[in-house]
Amino acid sequence: MSDNLSNKNNSEEIDLLQLFGFFESKVKGLIRLIFSGVKSVFDVFIVFLQILQQNFIKVSIVVIVAFGVGYSYDMYQPKVYASKMIVKPLFDSKYQLVTNIRYYNELVSNRKLDKLSSLFNLNKEEAESLKGFDIKDGPESEKEKTRLFNGFMKSLDSIAASTVTYENFVENITIYDARLYEIEVKSSINNVFGKLSKGFKKTFKSDKYSKENKRKKDTLFKLKKASIEKSLRDIDSLKKVYITELSKTKNQTVQLFGSTALKLADEQKQTKEFELLQLQIAEQQKLTTLEEDAIKENQLFEVVSDFQLIGSVSGGLMNKMKFMFPLAVFILVLLALFGMRFNKFVANYNRH
């Protein structure tokens, strides 16, 4: 029996050794694979340095020539100036704003100079200088995005709300969900933007849909204000009537029941007056809030930041040919040299 137990233990030890050996071989294989990959990347990098070293003078000359060509191109290209305006559309005028920007770009593309001149009160030279209009959602804080998200979640039932995350909501925000809008205009003349600002304000005023929304809100404001003012007058009248009646009751109480009853009547008076005062304060707060909202939204849009009167030169490094052209030539030259090295390797492969 002891022999059987010994054989069983030996068999288990052999199985464990085989298992450890299997894992050891797999780990070694993975390490060799990683090392081989790193070595391949290093070999490619060394080949790149060798090619660059062997052809350094040629590559340098080509890049310098490309820089000169790009610099000359930038020198003779007419400068384009840009200016930005940030607006806050009200009464759903943002829809018309986006449509107007697309319309202006169509006019620029089709060189409808007369129409542009009449819209923005420009002369022919100024209208011809316009290069394009761009609109995008303005600088919104995380707080504003959170406000939009909370408002959207309130409009959903509990099942639908459980499937929506803040990250997905932010990714799917469209230009029509923004509160602020940044408008950028490009022109070959740097002092035309003041006239464009006046033209934009004029186009806002021609939006019939937004004007109708504003008219409805103004009418609703007047109705609410009249209702609150009537409530305040009623409360004031009620206070006067109550005080008059209470004074009569007070005199009668003194004559019939004496000072103890008078004290109870005074306490009752103070309680009722306090309730009426609280009601009056609440109505006054409603009126104040209503008037504040009316002041905030008394026009179709607000200009948060107007166009600069003098535009700045448009374009960053990506639009400078003196940088982009040499970079493109450098990459093409390296690809050509790599191709030549690879072609030579393929041609000599069978000889080894």
Number of independent structural domains in the chain: 3
Q: Do 164 and 232 belong to one domain?
A: no
Residue at 95: amino acid letter = Y
For residue 161 the two structure tokens come to 């709300």
**What does DSSP say about strands 130-137 and 181-187: parallel, antiparallel, or unpaired?**
antiparallel
pLDDT in tens, 320-348: 777 788 888 888 888 888 888 777 777 77
Q: Do 204 and 100 belong to one domain?
A: yes
Q: Please state, in angstroms and as integers, the Cα–Cα distance from residue 132 to each residue in 80, 184, 304, following that order.
A: 10, 8, 22
pLDDT in tens, 251-303: 554 444 444 444 444 445 555 666 666 776 777 777 777 666 666 566 667 77
Q: How far apart are the first and last CA of the chain?
A: 66
**Structural domain boundaries enclosing 29:** 2-75+321-351
Q: Do 172 and 312 belong to one domain?
A: yes
Whether the CB-CB separation of 121 and 220 falls below 8 Å is answered with no
Select from 140, 90, 144 the least CA-distant residue to 295.
Answer: 90
pLDDT, residue 257, reads 44
Q: Do 45 and 87 belong to one domain?
A: no
pTM of the full structure: 0.54
Q: Do 118 and 168 belong to one domain?
A: yes
Q: Do 139 and 181 belong to one domain?
A: yes
Q: Do 193 and 238 belong to one domain?
A: no
What is the pLDDT averaged over residues 174-181?
A: 79
Residue at 25: amino acid letter = S
Phi, psi of 192 (to 5 degrees): -95, -10
pLDDT in tens, 55-96: 888 888 888 888 888 888 777 777 888 888 888 887 777 888
Q: What angle do CA 348, 349, 352 make, to 5 degrees?
A: 90
3-state SS class at 87: strand
Q: Do 312 and 193 belong to one domain?
A: yes
pLDDT band at 305 (very low <50, low <70, confident <90, very high): confident
Select from 134, 100, 132, 128 the least CA-distant residue to 113.
Answer: 128
What is the pLDDT averaged over residues 210-232?
A: 71
Q: Do 89 and 34 belong to one domain?
A: no
Radius of gyration of the chain (CA): 40
Q: Do 325 and 312 belong to one domain?
A: no
What distance in Å separates the CA atoms of residue 100 and residue 160, rounded to the nearest whole number?
35
Whether the CB-CB separation of 198 and 121 falls below 8 Å is answered with yes
What distance in Å separates the CA atoms of residue 315 and residue 200, rounded to the nearest whole number?
24
* Inter-helix orientation angle 2-54/56-76, to 10°: 60
Torsion from C-alpha of 325, 328, 332, 335, nearest 10 degrees: 150
Looking up tokens 């070293």, which residue turns up? 53
Q: Do 243 and 331 belong to one domain?
A: no
Q: Do 312 and 178 belong to one domain?
A: yes
Checking if the pLDDT of 193 tops 80, the result is: yes
What distance in Å separates the CA atoms of residue 163 and residue 169, rounded to the nearest whole number?
11
Checking if the pLDDT of 145 tops 70, the result is: yes
